[in-house]
């Protein structure tokens, strides 16, 4: 794959200034907010604002928006050290729809609050979902139009390999905890690709429905979940056999999903019902439904397993849901068409 890379690093004097300014900035926060700083920040891909939002989770408010310098980034991931956000610039369209074809991925210094590096894929690939390999520290990004997952060295912003998905519109990616397998949701084909990330090859294509969306893995990697867009149900793929083993009925077609870290629940965005459904993974049935603002999209469970954040695209809101009570405890004002979420520790 041909590409060019442009990486810009802040000079040492600027880094020192950033450290000084950051210390002053943090001192201005309350004690509870300072405690949140030690635990992390919520990152939001604000599509309509073409920016990356930073949310103070203690104050439940967006404290910064960082221009991405691109058309629109849909998703974001934070580096393991929490210092850098990586945003693939997808373009101004939806998956499978006409529009611009994104060609870049940007690296954002979260302390300096600016773009410090750019990877140019060299042609339109609609890069979308970034995921860090849990063992090798490499960055995996779905590159839809090439029908691949690109493997990127996050330090040099160079492509070091690709994995073919064998399908069009490989939109979202989930990686097993050992880093060996990847699963992509292929929207238009309605399939899931099983990838050998070490051998960099497609192992299997799993038929699911006429159209799928999003994908996540249970905390024990036993199940891969993807939402059927043609019916109100969720496919549960047994990763031992790589076949759809169960269907979970939902109030309406689902979208993004995320498991709670204790492995007991799966939190599901249900846009058509303006709800979040909570699936009991012991019974594979919906145990709770929670009303949220319009167009819930993506779900992120906070690392302390106390809160599930749900981006609500059409509402420019993030719903914060208490996992112990399954009640919305805060609605956070975000940017226009808020979508992708990540946690920066």
The residue extents of the domains of the chain are 4-254
Mean pLDDT, residues 136-152:
98
The whole-number pLDDT of residue 1 equals: 43
pLDDT of 9 strictly over 50: no
Structure tokens at 338: 């808020």
Q: What is the pLDDT of residues 164-209, one digit of tens each?
A: 999 999 999 999 999 999 999 999 999 999 999 999 999 999 999 9
Mean pLDDT, residues 205-214:
98
CB atoms under 10 Å from CB of 8, counted, come to 11
**CA pair distance 4, 178, nearest whole angstrom:** 31
The whole-number pLDDT of residue 150 equals: 98
Q: What is the pLDDT of residues 15-41, one digit of tens each?
A: 333 333 333 333 333 333 334 434 799
**CA pair distance 271, 115, nearest whole angstrom:** 32
Mean pLDDT, residues 67-74:
89
The whole-number pLDDT of residue 21 equals: 37
The whole-number pLDDT of residue 71 equals: 78
To the question of domain 4-254 being in CATH 3.90.1150.10, the answer is no
Taking the model in full, what pTM does it have?
Answer: 0.89
Please give the mean pLDDT across all residues of the chain: 90
Beta strands in 90-222 (DSSP E): 104-109, 114-120, 127-132, 139-143, 148-153, 158-164, 170-175, 181-186, 191-196, 201-207, 212-217
Mean pLDDT, residues 79-108:
96
Mean pLDDT check: name the lowest of 2-16, 72-86, 298-312.
2-16
The whole-number pLDDT of residue 97 equals: 95
The whole-number pLDDT of residue 85 equals: 98
**CA pair distance 176, 324, nearest whole angstrom:** 26
Give residues with Cβ within 8 angstroms of 53, minimum separation 6. 43, 44, 45, 46, 62, 64, 65, 66, 334, 335, 338
Mean pLDDT, residues 321-334:
98
């Amino acid at each position: 794959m041909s590409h060019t890379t442009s990486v810009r690093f802040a000079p040492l004097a600027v880094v020192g200034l950033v450290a000084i300014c950051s210390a002053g900035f943090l001192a201005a926060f309350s004690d509870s907010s300072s405690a949140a700083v030690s635990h992390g920040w919520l990152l939001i891909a604000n599509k309509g604002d073409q920016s990356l939002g930073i949310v103070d989770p203690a104050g439940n408010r967006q404290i910064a928006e960082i221009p991405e310098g691109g058309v629109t980034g849909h998703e974001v991931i934070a580096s393991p050290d929490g210092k850098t956000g990586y945003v693939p610039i997808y373009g101004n369209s939806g998956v499978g729809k006409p529009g611009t074809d994104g060609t870049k991925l940007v690296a954002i210094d979260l302390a300096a609050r600016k773009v410090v590096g750019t990877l140019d894929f060299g042609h339109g690939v609609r890069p979308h979902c970034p995921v860090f390999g849990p063992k090798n520290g490499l960055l995996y990004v779905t590159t839809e139009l090439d029908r691949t997952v690109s493997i990127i060295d996050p330090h040099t912003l160079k492509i070091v390999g690709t994995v073919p998905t064998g399908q069009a519109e490989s939109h979202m990616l989930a990686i097993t905890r050992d880093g060996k397998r990847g699963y992509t949701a292929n929207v238009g084909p309605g399939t899931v690709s099983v990838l050998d990330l070490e051998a960099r090859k497609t192992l299997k294509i799993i038929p699911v429905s006429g159209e799928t969306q999003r994908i996540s893995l249970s905390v024990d990697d036993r199940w891969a979940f993807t939402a059927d867009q043609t019916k109100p149900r969720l496919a549960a793929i047994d990763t031992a056999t790589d076949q759809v083993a169960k269907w979970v009925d939902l109030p309406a077609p689902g979208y993004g999903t995320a498991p709670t870290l204790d492995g007991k629940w799966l939190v599901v965005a249900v846009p058509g019902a303006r709800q979040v459904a909570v699936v009991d993974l012991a019974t594979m049935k919906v145990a709770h439904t929670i009303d949220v603002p319009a167009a819930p999209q993506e779900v992120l469970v906070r690392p302390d397993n106390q809160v599930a954040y749900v981006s609500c695209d059409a509402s420019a809101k993030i719903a914060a849901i208490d996992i112990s009570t399954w009640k919305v405890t805060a609605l956070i004002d975000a940017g226009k068409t808020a979508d992708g979420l990540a946690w920066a520790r």
